[in-house]
Amino acid sequence: MKRWKKMGCLGVLLLVAAACCTAPVLLSAVAGQASAGQGAPPSAGAAGIPQRMLTAYLTGAAQVTAHVPECRGMRWQILAGIARVESDHAQGRQITPVGDITPPVIGPRLDGSGAGGNTTAIPDTDGGRWDGDSEFERAVGPFQFLPATFVANGVDGNADGALSPHNADDAAASAAVYVCGRGRNLTDRAQLRAALYTYNASWAYVDDVLSGIDRYDSLGNTPAVPSGNVGTLIAAALAQQGVPYSWGGGGPSGPTTGICCSPGGQDGRTVTGFDCSGLTQYAYAQAGITLPRTAAAQAGAGQRIPAAAGFAALQPGDLVFYGYSPTADSTIHHVGIYVGDGKMINAPRPGKSVRIDPVTAMPDYAGGARPL
């Protein structure tokens, strides 16, 4: 399973068409989810999720109580948060109208060698049926089930009479069943955290998945833009949504190509866009404020807001910082612009675009600054 990697801004190199529903259950399940009060989902583009995978998350969440009647609070955002970390929503693969994914998503061999991060050997249980390995296990599908775990929790998510972890509908519905356990209340944050920990016994993993869930929860809820200079800079930043991240890119005049290379390997010279501090520099320039180029240096602009004051101390327009130590500005690796309602406009990392994120999208909050 993937692990969260920090992707800092320039200057900090410490670490870093909708698919047809072919089975009646799909349409009825989506309708059932909407009637359960979860509301209409965002566009797949806004969520950054392939349309066919989003359909699978919707239907998987909607039908879970048919399998775990006592489960409460399962929703598509939870499934999307897990699959984002496990397989990046099977990005780059072909997904048929019935949900079959090719090539299949198969994890590293769990032979205890340390390759791929595994240190415990897990002997084969499926004869290589799903993972192609008849000696040791490999995690399979967009939700990276071990074959034995899928056998214990697998359900036929699209009612086609076949069951496979490499089918988006089956995998999503099975993940919903697994996370629900014997009937958890997933509206309770503590129970949700515990459920995610059973999926992968790592609190770093839990925090990574929750950051994705929080972002998906926030889609479609853009805060109102205030007036004055604060409104000017927020509007300027919001207008850049969809512009790609470029390592070292952007500045007071707008998006530019960047430099080589990010901790994740992106060559910014090939991408026109913004990194996090390039975006903040641009937005503040529209309000007549000159900011330094790096996130760490921007922490010295205006009134500093300590991390100990919490997110409640932030006001729209404030810079929002993340660092390896909340009290040492030199360790700041990321910055966004607070837009209110617990959200920020953010250039998150290579491969992503400028977007609205919850301020909890990153775990190492280091306070804020108020240049205006």
State the pLDDT at residue 33. 42
Average of pLDDT values for 37-59?
76
Percent helix, strand and coil across the chain, each to the nearest 5: 40, 15, 45
CATH code of the region 24-105+140-218? 1.10.530
State the pLDDT at residue 41. 59
CATH code of the region 228-370? 3.90.1720.10
Q: What's the chain's average pLDDT? A: 85
Q: Which two tokens stand for residue 272?
A: 């026109």
Strand order in the sheet with 332-340: 303-305, 365-370, 319-323, 332-340, 343-346, 355-358
Average of pLDDT values for 95-116?
88
| Domain locations in the chain as residue ranges | 24-105+140-218, 228-370
Q: What does the pLDDT look like over 147-198, one tens digit per residue?
A: 999 999 999 998 889 999 999 999 999 999 999 999 999 999 999 999 999 9
State the pLDDT at residue 362. 87
Torsion region of 363: left, alpha or beta (phi above 0 gives left; psi -120 to 50 gives alpha): alpha
276 is an active site residue: yes
Q: What does the pLDDT look like over 347-359, one tens digit per residue?
A: 999 988 888 889 9
| Residue 63 pLDDT exceeds 80 | yes
Beta bridge partners of 343: 340, 358
CA–CA gap between residue 22 and residue 19 (Å, rounded): 9
Torsion region of 340: left, alpha or beta (phi above 0 gives left; psi -120 to 50 gives alpha): left
* Lowest-confidence pick of 8-17, 112-121, 243-252: 8-17
Tell me, rounded to whole angstroms, the distance of Cα 77 from its chain centroid.
Answer: 10
334 is an active site residue: yes
Q: How confident is the model at residue 113 (pLDDT cuts 50, 70, 90)?
A: confident
Q: How confident is the model at residue 145 (pLDDT cuts 50, 70, 90)?
A: very high
Contacts of 298 (CB under 8 A, 6+ apart): 277, 280, 281, 291, 292, 319, 321, 335, 369
Q: What is the helix (H) or strand (E) element at residue 217, kind and residue range?
A: helix 203-218
Contacts of 222 (CB under 8 A, 6+ apart): 238, 339, 343, 356
Decide whether 24-105+140-218 matches 228-370 in CATH topology.
no
Q: Kindly name the residue from 89, 166, 276, 333 that is annotated as catalytic.
A: 276
State the pLDDT at residue 341. 86
Q: How confident is the model at residue 32 (pLDDT cuts 50, 70, 90)?
A: very low
State the pLDDT at residue 365. 95
Q: Max Cα separation, the chain?
A: 66
Q: How confident is the model at residue 267 (pLDDT cuts 50, 70, 90)?
A: very high
Q: How confident is the model at residue 48 (pLDDT cuts 50, 70, 90)?
A: confident
